[in-house]
Structure 1
Amino acid sequence: MRIGELSERAGVSTRTLRHYEELGLLPARRRANGYREYDEADLRLLAEIRDLVELGFALEETRPFLDCLRAGHPTGTSCADARAVQRRKLAEVDDLIARLRTVRAELADQLDTPVPRCDLTC
């Protein structure tokens, strides 16, 4: 399929597809006439990228998952390198949750602290 069809089926712009190609995330196969050519496997790679980005992964972090799919594994999480990236991302999420809990506790404490009455416009 050509870039326009892939764009439509994947729900991304052709500009996005070209960007992924520049980053080496999407293969750049060309026909004799110079047109880009894609197949169903590329559609699967795009779905993997989309799913991972929605989970908060940076584009570069998707590479091990895509490599795993390209190697013929049933999922992008079937390979050790991808699992390592997942573990790092999980640790980042855990850290973020801990920081957000601290911020929340501080805000709750501030709201629970009585405020002296202000006779002037505060």
Structure 2
Amino acid sequence: MRIGELARRTGVSERLLRYYEEQGLLRPERRSSGYRQYRESDVVVVRRIRTLLAAGLSTATIARVLPCMCDVNDRLIPCSDLVQELRAERARMDRQIDDLVRSRGLLDEVIGAAPLSEGAAGTKVSAAG
């Protein structure tokens, strides 16, 4: 199938499909005309890519883990060799979440310290406006 059909069947733009190819996530064959030729299995691959992106993995990580993933009862299952790497990715995400929570707390402190009714130029605004 050509790129337009893959885009229609997966809901992913042609531009994004080309990006996935650049990142080594998709490997379509090339016709003599230069057109990309996708296989039926690429529909599943694109869905796996979307799932892994939604899980917070980078395209570089997905390129490493994708060849070792399979679908079982509509669940994406990694081979046992990948579990440790995926746990490390989850730990990295946990650290980022902790950093964001700390940043949000500091921002809450700054917001809480601000006068309640302050105009854009730092001048006090009366309750009437």
Structure 2 length-normalised TM: 0.68
Q: Amino acid of the residue matched to residue 23 of structure 2?
A: L
Alignment of 1:11 with 2:39, yes or no, is no
Structure 2 residue matching 1:77: 3-state secondary structure: strand
- C-alpha displacement of 1:92: 1.6
Give identity over the alignment, percent.
38
Q: Is the 8 A contact 1:7 1:14 kept in 2?
A: yes
If each structure's strand is expressed as a fraction of its own residues, which one has the higher value?
Answer: 2
Kept after mapping to 1: 8 A contact 2:10/2:47: yes
Note if contact 1:3-1:36 (Cα within 8 Å) is conserved in structure 2: yes
The 1:33–1:101 alpha-carbon spacing in structure 2 relative to 1, beyond 3 Å, is closer
Give the match for residue 94 of structure 1. 94
TM-score when normalising by structure 1 = 0.71
In structure 1, list runs of 5 or more residues that go unmatched: 116-120
Runs of 4+ in 1 over 6 A off after TM superposition: none
For structure 2, the 5+ residue unaligned runs are 116-122, 125-129
Match of 1:74, SS state, is: strand
Alignment of 1:40 with 2:37, yes or no, is no
Give the count of matched residue pairs. Answer: 114
- The alignment yields a C-alpha RMSD, in angstroms, of 2.8
